[in-house]
C-alpha cells in the first residue's frame, strides 16, 4: 500500500464551495487515501501580504482574497464529516521571518509546509525572481545555473532552520523548468539533508515534478537518498491543483521512497508528527 494521506493540494482554480472541495475528497477516496490536507498559497490572502516584499507585482495582482473564506470552507467540510486538514504552503523569503511567524501564529494549522518559490535580488537594485513562473522561463537563459542552484539550496536550508515549518515543500523545485547544472551537486543535496535533519523537518516526496517540464519527482532520487542517510522523515504529496491529481502516481512515489530505504511516512495533527508504515 502506498501512503494514506495527501497533504499538499490547492483549491485555487475553483470557487470557495463545498462542491469543489468534495471533488478532491472523492478522488482521494477512490485512490484509497484516508486523509487529505489543503495547503493554499498565502500570496492570495490579504492577511498574508506582509510575508512578501512590496511591491511585488505577481503577488499584488493575486492578493485579493480573505483568509476567512478558506478557513470557513475547511470548517464547513469538517462539519460535513470530510477528512480534511488545514494548512498553507508558506513561501519562505529571507528577511520576512518575523512577518511569517506572525501570520503562521494566527491560526491553528494541522501542519506547515515551507517552500521556496522566490530568489532574492542577486545585486542591489535587482528584483525578486519567481523562478518557477512559466512566464519568466527566458530568465533561465541569462543566469549561471549552478550559482542559482547554490543560492536556492542555501535558502531551503535556511527555511528549515527557521523552525517554522513541519514539511519542506518540493525540496529541489529549482529544477522545475528543466535547467540543470552540468556539475555534480551531491554536496548541495548532502548539505540540505543535514540542515533538514538538524531542524527536525520532514521532506515531501512531491509527485507534481512528474507533471512539470523537468519530468522528475521532487526530490530527485539521489537527494532523497541523502535525506534518508541523514535521517529525515518523508511523506508523499501530490501538489494537486485539480481533483484528478489528488493521490496521483502515489504507488510509483512509494516505490521511489522504498528504493531510497524508507519504510515509514509521516502524518500530522495539530502540528504533531506521527509515523506510519509506508
Ligand atoms: Zn509550491
Ligand atoms: Zn503547492
What is the reported pLDDT for 212? 97
Before 252, cis peptide (omega within 30)?
A: no
Which residues of the chain, if any, have pLDDT below 50? none
Query: In this structure, what are the phi and psi dihedrals at residue 274, rounded to the nearest 5 degrees?
Result: -130, 160
Q: Count of domains in the chain? A: 1
Radius of gyration of the chain (CA): 18
Closest ligand to residue 237's CA? 2
Question: What's the CA angle centered on 174, arms 224 and 195, to 5 degrees?
Answer: 50
Please report, for the domain that includes residue 239, its CATH number.
3.20.20.140
What is the reported pLDDT for 31? 97
Q: Which residues pair with 167 in a beta bridge?
A: 113, 202
At 9, is the secondary structure helix, strand, or coil?
strand
- pTM of this structure: 0.97
Span from the CA of 142 to the centroid of ligand 1 (angstroms) = 23
Residue 165 to residue 162: CA distance in whole angstroms:
8
What is the reported pLDDT for 3? 74
Q: Are 99 and 51 in contact (CB under 8 A)?
A: yes
Closest ligand to residue 131's CA? 1
Span from the CA of 186 to the centroid of ligand 1 (angstroms) = 23
Span from the CA of 69 to the centroid of ligand 1 (angstroms) = 21
Residue 137 to residue 194: CA distance in whole angstroms:
31
What is the reported pLDDT for 2? 59
Span from the CA of 208 to the centroid of ligand 2 (angstroms) = 9
Span from the CA of 22 to the centroid of ligand 1 (angstroms) = 22
What is the reported pLDDT for 122? 87
Please name which of 120, 210, 190 lies closest in space to residue 131, comparing C-alpha atoms. Answer: 120
Please name which of 95, 172, 183 lies closest in space to residue 132, comparing C-alpha atoms. Answer: 172
Q: Which residues surround ligand 1, an ion (CB under 5 A)?
A: 115
- Report pLDDT digits (tens) over 139-152: 999 999 999 999 99
Which residues span the domain enclosing 152? 5-277
Q: Are 36 and 28 in contact (CB under 8 A)?
A: yes
Amino acid at each position: 500500500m502506498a501512503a494514506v494521506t495527501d497533504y499538499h493540494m490547492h483549491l485555487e482554480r475553483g470557487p470557495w464551495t463545498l462542491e469543489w472541495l468534495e471533488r478532491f475528497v472523492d478522488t482521494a477516496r477512490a485512490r484509497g487515501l484516508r486523509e487529505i490536507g489543503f495547503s493554499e498559497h498565502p500570496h492570495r490572502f490579504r492577511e498574508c501580504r506582509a510575508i512578501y516584499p512590496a511591491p511585488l507585482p505577481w503577488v499584488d495582482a493575486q492578493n485579493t482574497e480573505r483568509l476567512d473564506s478558506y478557513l470557513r470552507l475547511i470548517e464547513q467540510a469538517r462539519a460535513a464529516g470530510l477528512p480534511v486538514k488545514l494548512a498553507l504552503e508558506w513561501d519562505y523569503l529571507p528577511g520576512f521571518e518575523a512577518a511569517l511567524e506572525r501570520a503562521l501564529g494566527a491560526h491553528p494549522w494541522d501542519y506547515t509546509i515551507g517552500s521556496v518559490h522566490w530568489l532574492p535580488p542577486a545585486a542591489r537594485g535587482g528584483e525578486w525572481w519567481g523562478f518557477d513562473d512559466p512566464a519568466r522561463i527566458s530568465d533561465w537563459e541569462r543566469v549561471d545555473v549552478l550559482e542559482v542552484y547554490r543560492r536556492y539550496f542555501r535558502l531551503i536550508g535556511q527555511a528549515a532552520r527557521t523552525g517554522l515549518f513541519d514539511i519542506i515543500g518540493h525540496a529541489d523545485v529549482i529544477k522545475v523548468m528543466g535547467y540543470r547544472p552540468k556539475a555534480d551537486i551531491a554536496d548541495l543535496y548532502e548539505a540540505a539533508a543535514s540542515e533538514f535533519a538538524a531542524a527536525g523537518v520532514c521532506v515531501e516526496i512531491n509527485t507534481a515534478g512528474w507533471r512539470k517540464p523537468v519530468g522528475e519527482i521532487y526530490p530527485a532520487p539521489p537527494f532523497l537518498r541523502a535525506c534518508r542517510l541523514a535521517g529525515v522523515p518523508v511523506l508523499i504529496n501530490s501538489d494537486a491543483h485539480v481533483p484528478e491529481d489528488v493521490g496521483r502516481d502515489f504507488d510509483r512515489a512509494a516505490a521511489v521512497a522504498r528504493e531510497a530505504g524508507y519504510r515509514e511516512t509521516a502524518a500530522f495533527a495539530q502540528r504533531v508528527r506521527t509515523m506510519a508504515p509506508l
